[in-house]
Amino acid sequence: MTAKILLLFLVAAFATITLTEGKRNVVCYYGSWAVYRPGDGKFDVEDIDPFVCTHLIFGFAGLKEYDNSIYALDPYNELYENWGRGAYERFTGLKKINPELVTILAIGGWNEGSVKYSKMASTAEGRRQFIDSVVPFLLRYGFDGLDMDWEYPTQRGGVAEDRDNFISLLRELKAAFAPEGLVLTAAVSAGEQTIDEAYEIPIVSELLDMINLMTYDYHGAWETITGHNAPMYAHPLDDGNVTNFNVNFSLNHWLTNGADPAKIQLGMGFYGRGWSLNNIEDNGPYAPANQPIQAGPYTRQAGIWGYNEVCEQFLADPAGWTVVRDEYYQSPYAYNGRNWIGYDDMESLTKKMELIDAYNLGGGMIWSIETDDFRQKCHSGSFPLTTHIYEYLNGPIFRPTTTPCVGEHCTTPLTTTPTTTRPIYTGEPNDQCPHEGYFKIDCQNYYYCQYNPASSEWIVSYFRCADGTAYNSETGRCEWANEVPGCEA
């Protein structure tokens, strides 16, 4: 590494340390597979407003079992190699628009399982192989750190030794990250049994820069009775250990067992979980429901609707839906015929942010930004939930109106103005980039022009549609070639 590159990384490290001084964190996960959703559910990197979050986390990278190395789960979407779309670098490139933004890569997630992470962490050699692959991977693509989303140590085929091995892994990652100024975070369980078996909480808290507490998924269509995705408090009908299936219990369990509140981000789900009721007359909590609610048009998974799908369903049939705000859930559920969905909205998210205030937590975490009402179908502004969280925790969102000055010779202060609309920067147009946006080259190839106010230059990124698809200038998407005029052949 040259001295110049080292200096840049040291500057980046200082930025990540000082970023949230005087403000609370708003950590936004991005589910990158949303780029493949149909219609108005499609969400790409450029759809992200880089000012409504303090931290963005890209989900997910994976772990190669045969050599314990990190790798791109979807290389076509995530890398530029082999005519790929380069989502990693476009994602970290959002820092060119908001230099205060911290971009992190998450590894793991539910679908990755636990077993191969357990095996990797079980030996010093396995951990070394992993760490030796992670550091250059993060630096290569411009990430500021890693989110260790192992779901979960000791669980799902893991072993009891995972508890100690997870500590060893975090300790060795932290040591390797320090010279490069990389941050280390983790998404952690909210379930009492998993917490007790998987985490040595005081040491985990000491080693991590941020703890992203997944306070949701308490109930879902794996059960045959209705229940809220993220209830604030226990319900009188709860019985046995189910009385601990709520946000308040999970947060207190982490805190009373040694977690630093300043490192905890309280998780908030931008989606609901739902059922098809057995009897339309029995429509409250704990109502019998043997089947999940039908899949939504965007997320296309039975039993779960993104907030954007929930609010659009309400718009489509406002008279048919009955919304109930349960005094114990402190969050709404709604029913329409056999359809039953428990979700969060602005009012219930406010209750959860009051909890952040009451416990003086580090901030809030969002899963996930692409299911907010980003197309403004239900609200007057884009990203209404995310914006509400940011402004509740930190006040108005400020966006630069002049080019930021970087370096020791700066004399002109950066002026700002509050706004909640997505920024569109405009530079001097040229033949290639008459304005910011996507432009067609031919049926399969297209490019995106993004103006960088810091350098007064256009950034041009090239893309290629997959075989069998073609770029449609009218929709700005790759679609089946036989549906794009002029590209049918």
List residues with catalytic annotation: 151
* Exposed/middle/buried for residue 144 (C-beta within 10 Å: 0-12, 13-18, 19+): buried
Question: Which candidate, 486, 484, 483, 479, places its Cα nearest to that of 465?
Answer: 479
| CB burial of residue 484 (10 Å; 0-12, 13-18, 19+) | buried
Torsions phi, psi for 426 (to 5 deg):
-125, 130
**Which among 271, 366, 336 has a CA at the least distance from the CA of 310?**
271
Instruction: Quote the tokens at residue 394.
Output: 């930190």
Q: Other CB atoms closer than 10 Å to residue 322's CB: what's the count?
A: 10
Peptide bond preceding 114 in cis form (omega within 30 of 0): no
Which of 144, 113, 244, 263 minimizes the C-alpha distance to 203?
263
- Reduce the DSSP state of residue 256 to 3 states and report it: helix
Q: With contact defined as beta carbons under 8 Å apart, do 368 and 29 qualify? A: yes
Reference 448, options 422, 471, 481, 468; nearest CA is 471
Angle 361-333-221 (CA atoms, 0-180°, nearest 5)? 90
Q: Which residues contact 344 (CB under 8 A, 6 or more apart)?
A: 229, 230, 268, 269, 270, 272, 307, 331, 332, 352, 385
DSSP reduced 3-state for 267: strand
Per-residue DSSP letter, 293: P
* H/E stretch holding 292: strand 291-292
Residues 6+ apart with CB under 8 A from 159: 118, 122
- One-letter amino acid at 80 equals Y
Largest CA-CA distance found in the chain, in angstroms, rounded: 71
CB 22 within 8 A of CB 99: no
Kindly calculate the radius of gyration of the chain based on its CA atoms and give it in whole angstroms: 23
Number of Cβ within a 10 Å radius of residue 359: 16
Residues with Cβ within 8 Å of 300's Cβ and at least 6 positions away in sequence, in order, are 37, 38
